[in-house]
Amino acid sequence: MTPPAFSVRQTVLVNILFFVCLLGGYAAYTRIPLEFFADVNLNEANITTIWTGSSAEEVERLVTQKLEEELLTVPDLDQIRSVSSAGISDINISFDEFLNDGEYEAALNDVRAALDRATQLPEDAEKPTITEGKLSEFVPVVILAVVDRDDVGPLALREIARDIEARLRDLPGANRIDIRGEQDREVRIEVRQDIAARYGLTIPEVAQRIRRQNLNLPAGSFESESGEKTLRARGDYQSVDEIADTVVTESLDGQVVRLSEIADIEASLAEARFINRYGGDPALFITITKKSDADVVTLVSEVDTWVADYANRLPAGIEITKTLDTSRFVRGRMKILVDNLLTGILLVVVLLWFTIGFRNAALTAIAIPFSFLTAMIFFPVFGVTLNATTITGMLLVSGMLVDDAIIVLENIYSRIERGQPLRQAVLEGAEEVLWPVIAAVTTTCAAFLPLLLVGGTAGKFVSILPKAVVLCLLASLFECLVILPAHYLDFGSRRASGASSSPSLVRRVRERVDGGLDRLRNLYARALAVTLNHRGPFSALFFAIMLAAYAGSGHLRVVLFPGEFDTFNVLLEMPPSTSLEQTNQVVLSYERLIKETLGTDTRDYSSSVGMSVDINYDRLSGDRYSMTTLTMEPTPENLKAPEDVLTRMQGRMEAFQAGWPGVITELRVQAEQDGPPLGAPVEMRLLGDDYARGKAVAAEVTAFLETLPGVYNVEDDLKRGRPEVRLLVDEERMAQHDLSFEDLALTLRGANDGLIAGSFRDPARNEDMEIRVLLSDADRASLQDLLDVEVASPKGYLVPLRDVADIELDRGYLAYHRRDGRRAVSVFAQVDDELATSRSANQALQTHFAELESRFPDLEVRYGGEFEDSAEAFADLGRAFPVALVAIYMILAALFRSYLQPLVVVTAVPFAFVGIILGVALLDYSVSFVLLYAAIGLTGVVVNDSLVMVDFINRGRRDEGLPLLEAVRQSGVRRFRPILLTTLTTVVALMPMALGLQGASKTYGPFAAAIAFGLMVAMVGTLFAVPLSYTSLIMGQQRITRWWKQRRGSTSQISPPDPEAS
């Protein structure tokens, strides 16, 4: 029993199924998380190790390299990159992109085991921590600013921020909550050197005495007559006063010397490494990430409700505000997409109403919401959430969903117009196009499914699109073959077009539309006859059009990943020796310029002095850096052209920098990264063991890139650090005092940065505070003061540091980068999309430095960033396209039982590519990665009408015995209205987004334009090129048959050609 037969016989059951699908889909919709991007697992992990007080070189040698040696043994490792900077080691590892969730968890366990094997790390380095590579783990959905508007003070601000952090953890959708810019509290013990020396004490000895006192040790159990008791020796501190009362030594007259006698002791905030402000006032920032199954809009709404309630309890002068709200981005993007979708659906209904009647239009339009809701039932099964990519896929297929319904309904309606009984017309009309409709849907699915083969970061972000499209298409197939026939029996039009019961106005419009369609159909019939009678010239014309389009495609602008942003950063870099306060003064100065733009270009701004990002969006830390993040004022002009806002701000910053000659190293404006994390448009990596060689070659690369038009912000990642004071020891003199280098290094660190002598738990605030022992500020005011620090000799006396060591000034690098276990220097650059592209700049780079590896055999050259990901994506697309074509060919070959007729069907595909080029050029869009996705998916869409056309021609020749040209002409005329309607319904559904009627989108506008214009031009190919190709094929076969007969000299043994075998 065919699906239409089941539908006609079981109308009650079919109607029940219809409502079950609607209700089930709605229930699924309410449970599917709404988010901007799907929670993509990048199959990565980040390993962070803190080693306070160490230099970047020490971190690379003693931490990063030790960890990499173990991590390189982990299976399924794709690449490893690391950054070693002062006090911190960051390692990013990428696994094979095709690992499933279970394999990824196993790989993480292998990483943990490798870290456990790295046992030779410095004793005072913290244990490495792992962060998983899921977006939900590190991309915040909300950032709150806790702002000090009335000089409340950093300690009170910190207490409020910590209280907010603790309370927000109770929100059900919240994952990680962190305070950015928080200073830890510590007990600071500043030893006065003259007094300590009087008692023969050094910093390490003071720290050791505190450490030995601050213990809480179990001593086993003790049995007595009253029972068993637990013994414990407790000396751990319960207050700062107890720390001050610690006995550190004994005087010559036998009196105890307490810590308070030789040091100043205070519980305070640790030295600030960052200065944070919001709107010019001191602030702390609280970042909130969501759980993978949480809805971003719901979570932000819960945060808003909580903040509104908590704000009533805030002390005067403290304010909470949102600096980042991704739900606003989600709602804004979704509004653009949904408004365009609803506008498109409305246009489809109106179009169908005036062409096939209101009832038939309603029955056809039902396919759109029904297919969407039915598909949503299966979204969770395939890991599909509601996000911008999913909605785009649904928008893409919104017009296609009614195509199948139009084919079935129009065939039923044409039989009713010819006088067939309703039930017979429904059954036979649906069954007649059963296999062509199935083939049409499966060919479209076959075009989209191979897109899942596209790997890389970009591929993971957009892989959700083919899943959503295929599920919606399969749901539409179920609707048109099972639901629609039953509904037509109950609600479909029973009248011919001339007997409409519509209101008079609609009837008059329909009559005019019908008349217009009839005239168009007659005009098409004459044009088709001319085309068939002049096959050679028209074939040449079609070929010339394709060549012209191909030639014109070379002038299109290529921007693989166009950015859409409403936030951007002002990034400051000062000379290496700049202090945090000096950097802060510069930032305060240009913040005044930013403040003048509030309400026009910008809505708000926040600054973080002491940190920044490079062109590749890697983190930079240090006193010389600052990053000010600005949110654009959402005016229509700004949203339409955000680049203009960036240009104006860059002009202001250039003018500002000119007023600080020699003070500012770099001051630039950079858009916030939007979309897949792909890196810089241009990135050249130089791998080798010699940083000096890499730096010299990087200078050559930088000089060349600066000569390329459209390439700007060229820099490398091996930046000079601040001047470094190095200790030079005299080993002979050190041996005379029985001292080791460790004794000297430990004393010097203790004197300057301090030694951690354990921790103390503050019962009042229920938090641990480190106990730091160091020299007083007055005793370490200069380098000479540090050389006066005394070291304890094992022989029982103190030795001034200057007696056994000297110092020298040197300058290392700010950070050391490594790739796959080797040292690396990378050169980055951005490109102006109007003048250059990532591909053109990298190709110029490859050509110019083609002999680089032969010049320097110890160097390995790699190209990364956006170019690397796009090259991988292009390669995958190159593999996906043939897979799609082969799958489409096999489906068509099975339908027609022919080797050659599938080639006739795909004749319309080149016309679709002509339409894409035309649409991109007319609307001034760029060729993007998403547009290439649309082009591949379009190959499956454009064959739908073509295959039905070929099927009707075959039926005319086989079932009705029509001559070739007459069968082609009649089939073309019969299929004219359905082809026109199916094309127009998809085009009008997509055109609002292509034109940006409800809001422009650089990402999804080109996508919609490609489908809309591609279908419009492909319709010409379907109506003219497909009949022309079919006729040429059959006539060619007939000529070959006649030639073969003549050559054989016999005609009796040769059968006439079978169209189904051709």
Mean residue pLDDT across the chain: 84
Tell me the CATH architecture of domain 3-31+357-493+504-560+870-1046: Up-down Bundle (1.20)
**Tens-digit pLDDT profile for residues 953-1012:** 888 888 888 888 888 898 888 888 878 877 887 787 777 777 766 555 666 778 788 888
| Euclidean distance between the first and the last CA atom of the chain, given in angstroms as a whole number | 30
pLDDT of residue 82: 92
Compute the distance between CA of residue 334 and CA of residue 676 in angstroms, rounded to an integer: 18
Neighbours of 874 (CB within 10 A): 16
Q: Which helix (H) or strand (E) holds 756?
A: strand 755-762
Question: Among 352, 355, 364, which Cα is nearest to 514's?
Answer: 355
* Residue of higher predicted confidence among 432 and 810: 432
Give the mean pLDDT of 1032-1053. 75
Compute the distance between CA of residue 852 and CA of residue 819 in angstroms, rounded to an integer: 19
Compute the distance between CA of residue 656 and CA of residue 670 in angstroms, rounded to an integer: 16
In degrees rounded to 5, what are phi and psi of residue 169? -65, -15
Is residue 559 very low, low, confident or very high in pLDDT (cuts 50, 70, 90)?
low
Is residue 1056 very low, low, confident or very high in pLDDT (cuts 50, 70, 90)?
very low
CB 960 within 8 A of CB 974: no
**Tens-digit pLDDT profile for residues 669-702:** 988 766 555 677 888 999 998 888 889 999 999 9
Please determine, for residue 87, whether its predicted confidence score (pLDDT) is greater than 80: yes
Q: Which two tokens stand for residue 531?
A: 């085309």
In degrees rounded to 5, what are phi and psi of residue 317? 95, -10
Is residue 25 very low, low, confident or very high in pLDDT (cuts 50, 70, 90)?
very high
Question: Helix 741-752 vs helix 203-213: angle between axes, to the nearest 10 degrees?
Answer: 80
Question: What would the CATH number be for the domain defined by 565-673?
Answer: 3.30.70.100
* Residue of higher predicted confidence among 992 and 946: 946
**Tens-digit pLDDT profile for residues 112-171:** 999 999 888 988 888 999 988 777 667 888 999 999 998 888 989 999 999 999 999 889
CA distances from 284 to 165, 348, 587, 914 (A): 11, 51, 17, 54
pLDDT of residue 344: 62
Is residue 1054 very low, low, confident or very high in pLDDT (cuts 50, 70, 90)?
very low
Q: Which two tokens stand for residue 809?
A: 């000034």
- The domain locations on the chain are 3-31+357-493+504-560+870-1046, 35-135, 185-218+232-269+722-813, 565-673
pLDDT of residue 997: 66
Give the mean pLDDT of 806-819. 84
Three-class DSSP labels, 231-257: EEEECCCCCHHHHHCCEEEECCCCCEE
Domains 3-31+357-493+504-560+870-1046 and 185-218+232-269+722-813 share a fold: no
pLDDT of residue 139: 80
CA distances from 79 to 96, 818, 983 (A): 9, 11, 46
pLDDT of residue 1000: 59
**Tens-digit pLDDT profile for residues 859-894:** 999 888 777 777 776 777 777 778 888 888 898 888
Please determine, for residue 825, whether its predicted confidence score (pLDDT) is greater than 80: yes
Q: Which helix (H) or strand (E) holds 966?
A: helix 964-995
Question: Among 179, 87, 80, which Cα is nearest to 133's?
Answer: 80
Is residue 655 very low, low, confident or very high in pLDDT (cuts 50, 70, 90)?
very high
Portion of the chain with pLDDT greater than 90, in percent: 24
User: Mean pLDDT lowest for which of 89-93, 298-302, 569-573, 639-643?
Assistant: 639-643
Q: Which one of 543-547, 625-629, 713-717 scores highest in mean pLDDT?
A: 625-629
The three-class DSSP label of residue 1003 is coil
Please determine, for residue 4, whether its predicted confidence score (pLDDT) is greater than 50: yes
pLDDT of residue 551: 80
pLDDT of residue 303: 92
pLDDT of residue 642: 80
pLDDT of residue 587: 95
Query: How many CA atoms, within 13 angstroms, populate the side-chain half-sphere of residue 630?
Result: 28
Give the mean pLDDT of 176-189. 89
CB 894 within 8 A of CB 835: no
Q: Which two tokens stand for residue 343?
A: 């506008």
DSSP assignment letter at 10: -
CB 989 within 8 A of CB 395: yes
Please determine, for residue 498, whether its predicted confidence score (pLDDT) is greater than 60: no
Q: Which fold has domain 185-218+232-269+722-813?
A: 3.30.2090
The three-class DSSP label of residue 1050 is coil
Give the mean pLDDT of 526-538. 89
Is residue 474 very low, low, confident or very high in pLDDT (cuts 50, 70, 90)?
very high
pLDDT of residue 476: 92
What homologous superfamily does CATH list for 35-135?
A: Multidrug efflux transporter AcrB pore domain (3.30.70.1430)
Question: Among 687, 601, 357, 297, which Cα is nearest to 499's?
Answer: 357
Residue type, 339: D
* Residue of higher predicted confidence among 596 and 504: 596
Please determine, for residue 187, whether its predicted confidence score (pLDDT) is greater than 80: yes
Give the mean pLDDT of 353-382. 85
Q: Which helix (H) or strand (E) holds 916?
A: helix 909-922
174 bridge partner residues: 290
* Residue of higher predicted confidence among 821 and 978: 821
